[in-house]
Structure 1
Amino acid sequence: MTKSEIRKEYLQKRESLSQDEVIDFSKKIFQNFIARFKPVENQKVHVFLSIPEKGEVDTKLFLNYFFKNHIRVFVPKIEQKKMISVEITEETPLIRSSWGIDEPASNQDSGEKDFDFVLTPLLYCDRHGNRVGYGKGYYDGFFSTISKDALRIGVGFFDPEEEIEDLIERDVPLNYLVTPTEVLSFRGFTSKSTK
């Protein structure tokens, strides 16, 4: 399937989830992430701020855990058609952007490149770690600017089923996918379940 076909299908699938399902699946994804990656104090995590209206994986659970355990938190912000990374704390005020995304008021790019984990939003991910997002390419551009050692971790509600047919050279695959039921590794080109 093409990205646009997958985007349409998985947007519909996600919209069909009830609010309770989104909350329950988000908790399971959070638990699977913590069990597999065991983040510790002073590690650096780049994490998106979810848009509840879009039925995205709820990242509040992640943020609360990171703040409580003194893990450094960085969030994306779009500045001049490019994604920058802004460090936040529990006290950082957030404002709602025109896209309906909570963002820090600051436009100060942290310049951080050496993240331990980059939690990545997606609609779908195939068996090779190729993701379909909203089609803007911000994360692919961001991935090309950060350390190759940063683990690119997708969080999503659905297991890989379809292959993505129209990949292009600048598409950057994920290292892992965390779903409500498992953690899949794509390191070394083949998908190995670490269920």
Structure 2
Amino acid sequence: MLKAELRKKYTQKRKALSPDEAFLLSEKIFENFIHYFNLREGEKVHVFIPIPVRKEIDTHIFIQYFLAKNIRVYVPKIVGDRLINIEIFEDTVFETSSWGISEPVSNEDSGENNFQYVITPLLYCDRKGNRVGYGKGFYDGLFQSISAETQKIGVNYFDPDEYVDDVWENDIPVDYLVTPTEVLSFLSGWE
């Protein structure tokens, strides 16, 4: 299926979720993530902050857990036409951007690119790790700038049903997909 078709289909499926359903599914995704990945104190995790109107996975659960476990947390912020990485703490001040995203007030890029994990927003991910997002390419750019050892993890409410037919040369797949029912690895050529 083409990205545009998948984007439309999964946007509709996401819209159909009630707030309670979305939160419960987010909790299951978080539980699967924590059980599968062995995070340690001092490690660095890059995680998106959800856009509520788009019913994205509620990563506030992840962020609260990471901060409580002394795991360093970095979040993306769009400044101009680029994505920067800002380290956050319990006392970080946030504001809502024009995209409807809660972002740190600070525009100070941490310069960090050596994360253990990048938790990636997406609308859909197929059985090869190919992502369908909102089509802006911010995460492809981020993936090109980070350490090759960083584990790229997509999170999604839905299991992969069909393949993305129009994968482009610059598209960078995720290494894992975490859903409410399972964790899929794409590192060993699983299909």
Q: TM-score range by the shorter chain?
A: over 0.9
Q: Which residue number corresponds to residue 119 of structure 1?
A: 119
Say yes or no: does 1:57 pair with 2:86: no
Three-state SS of the structure 1 residue aligned to 2:78 is: strand
Pairs within 5 Å for 1:1-195:
1-191=1-191
Which amino acid letter does the alignment assign opposite residue 123 of structure 2?
L
Inter-partner Cα distance in structure 1 for 2:176 and 2:131: 11
What's the TM-score, normalizing by structure 1?
0.96
Cα distance in 1 for residues equivalent to 2:34 and 2:15? 26
The separation in 2 between residues aligned to 1:141 and 1:52, in whole angstroms, is 24
1:38 Cα offset (Å): 2.2
Deviations 1:48-73 (A, max 9, x none): 00112211100011011001000000
Matches of 1:91 and 1:148, distance apart in 2: 31
Task: Give distance in 1, aligned partners of 2:189 and 2:112.
Answer: 27
TM-score normalised to the size of structure 2? 0.98
1:190 Cα deviation from its structure 2 partner: 2.4
**Distance between the aligned counterparts of 1:190 and 1:30, measured in 2?**
22
Give the letter aligned to residue 48 of structure 2.
F
How far does residue 162 in structure 1 lie from its aligned partner after superposition?
Answer: 1.0
2:98 counterpart SS class:
coil
Whole-angstrom distance in 1 between the partners of 2:136 and 2:48: 15
- The offset of 1:39, in angstroms, is 1.1
Q: 1:90 offset after TM fit, Å?
A: 1.1
Report the secondary structure of 1:39's partner residue.
coil
Give the CA deviation at 1:187: 0.2
Mapped to 2, the partners of 1:23 and 1:46 lie a distance apart of 21
Q: Which runs of 5 or more structure 1 residues have no equivalent in the other structure?
A: none
**Which amino acid is 2:92 matched to?**
T
Structure 2: any 5+ residue segments left out of the alignment? none
How many Å apart are 1:88 and its aligned residue? 0.6
Give the percent of matched residue pairs that are identical in Structure 1 and Structure 2: 56
For each residue in 1:57-103, what CA deviation from the matched residue of structure 2 results, as whole angstroms up to 9, or x when unmatched? 00011011001000000000112211110101011000000110000
SS in 2 for 1:10: helix
